[in-house]
Amino acid sequence: MVIIMNPDATDENIKEVIAAVEGAGLKAKVMEGASQKIVGVIGDKTRLASVPIDAMAGVEQSVAISKSYKLASREFHPMASVIDVAGVKIGGGTPVVMAGPCAVESKEQLFEAADIVKAAGAQFLRGGAYKPRTSPYSFQGLEEKGLEYLAEARERTGLRIVTEVTTVEAIDRVAHYADMLQVGARNMQNFGLLKEVGKCGKPVLLKRGLAATLDEWLNAAEYIMNAGNPNVVFCERGIRTYETYTRNTLDLSAVAAIKHLSHLPIIVDPSHGTGKWRMVKPMAFAAIAAGADGLMMEVHPNPAKALSDGPQSLTPENYQEVMRGVQKLAVFMKEENIVPMDI
């Protein structure tokens, strides 16, 4: 439920509404609207059945939220959220870029990649220390040693670190080193992991599942938020369809849909979305044009020698070319005031 206050509601009116909500054993969160304040109610709204909320001073109306995901819904939080990750803002109008190798293979490889992505304008270094792979015989990552290398790369470059957490047991360890924790596609509905990540205190990048609907994806975010972590960013990385030419089918319509349904930011991963490095550039441009709040791209100093995802990784030269185009497109859209239409 949300309680919409009158534009002329006083602070005392709002305090009285909050007291009534909390007196019924529910939680209240105040949000600033364009011209009025909104009090979001978290919990079983039937407890307010005997409380005359709509008759209270300063209240315009109370509205029940129809979505199963409450905290992630734009009904609950009408204004778009900006997620701060160690000083870098995601959703503030300027697209952010997370780039780097699929996996941390060695200190030398990671440091070289970090220098490359930093020089071209990325704000985040991505790299997997724990790698969930389809085959048990594929490279599984360097684990904690990889996390140590990521932390060292941050000290050298100033880049923020985003890396995947795959098990509940590893959450504290990954959170110690990383600025942002990634929940991968295969774990999008690992509800035990989502709940614990919600308690870790670090922002979370939530990738879409291999065949997840938007409703399932939004409810996955709800698990994290309901556990106490409001700092969630969606990442569209393609879904599995009958098409076999690409690794996945990149669903750019999800950007517009999520923007309409949720207040949380969304970025796009064209590397996993296509599985082909030649397609990363056009899909990255399309994602920014669709209104994405950023990109995640795989970049490797030498993709031909990569231990994982070489075919979809950009070379330094290709990455620099993509970044030049992305930056120009972002500036153009901002100058022309081109914003996604509310659907």
What pLDDT, in 10s, does the model give residues 251-272? Answer: 999 999 999 999 999 999 999 9
Work out the mean pLDDT of the chain and round it to a whole number. 94
What pLDDT, in 10s, does the model give residues 208-235? Answer: 999 999 999 999 999 999 999 999 999 9
Domains of the chain: 2-63 (3.30.70.1140), 83-335 (3.20.20.70)
When pLDDT is cut at 50, 70 and 90, the band that residue 300 belongs to is very high
pLDDT at 277 over 70: yes
When pLDDT is cut at 50, 70 and 90, the band that residue 46 belongs to is confident
For position 195, what pLDDT does the model report?
97
What would the mean pLDDT of 305-314 be, rounded to a whole number? 94
For position 207, what pLDDT does the model report?
98
What pLDDT, in 10s, does the model give residues 100-116? Answer: 999 999 999 999 999 99
What would the mean pLDDT of 314-331 be, rounded to a whole number? 97
For position 343, what pLDDT does the model report?
44
Q: What is the DSSP letter of 127?
A: -
CA distance 146 to 174: 10
When pLDDT is cut at 50, 70 and 90, the band that residue 339 belongs to is low
Q: What percent of the chain has pLDDT over 90?
A: 84
8 A C-beta contact, residue 177 and residue 151: yes
What would the mean pLDDT of 280-289 be, rounded to a whole number? 98
pLDDT at 182 over 90: yes
- 74: nearest Cα among 265, 228, 223, 238: 265
What pLDDT, in 10s, does the model give residues 115-137? Answer: 999 999 999 999 999 877 677 76
For position 340, what pLDDT does the model report?
62
Listed range (37-46, 50-59, 77-86) with the worst mean pLDDT: 37-46
What pLDDT, in 10s, does the model give residues 144-155? Answer: 999 999 999 999
Instruction: Please enumerate in sequence order all residues whose Cβ is within 8 A of that of 135, keeping only pairs 6 or more positions apart, or say none.
Output: none
Backbone phi and psi for residue 71, each to the nearest 5 degrees, phi listed first: -65, -30
